[in-house]
Amino acid sequence: MVDPIRGRHYDQFVPIYEFDCSACGARFERLVEAGTEHAACPACGATDAGRLLSSFAAPVRQLTANQRRRAEDARGIDRGGARSRWQQSLDRARRKGGTGKRPPGQAE
């Protein structure tokens, strides 16, 4: 007996795929059976709209101090590099007549 609430195919995977119609250029999403390569375009009715590769969101995470250190070593950046590069740009700006500002709490 078919469950009236869930339907016949409730336990099957039905992914949402994104399709691109080569006839009219429309892009659309469709809930279809897994592995479906082509679908009918809702805009023009063409049946040869091809499935696109979907992108996914990568988790955003920060590096630990040890991972940052290793990345700096791999790039050849010294650990105090950002501060020294900032100091060099400050000195260059002063030589050119700029107003190189220091961060609060630092004496000249």
Task: Write down the domain spans for the chain.
Answer: 16-51
First vs last C-alpha separation in the chain? 84
Interval 42-81: pLDDT, tens: 999 898 899 987 666 566 778 888 888 888 777 776 666 6
**24 contacts 18 by C-beta, under 8 angstroms:** no
According to the model, what pLDDT value does residue 21 have? 92
Residue with tokens 């955003």: 60
pLDDT higher at 102 or 85 = 85
pLDDT band at residue 108 under the 50/70/90 scheme:
low
Sign of the C-alpha dihedral computed for residues 48, 52, 9 and 44 taken in this order: negative
Cα separation, 26 vs 49, whole angstroms: 9
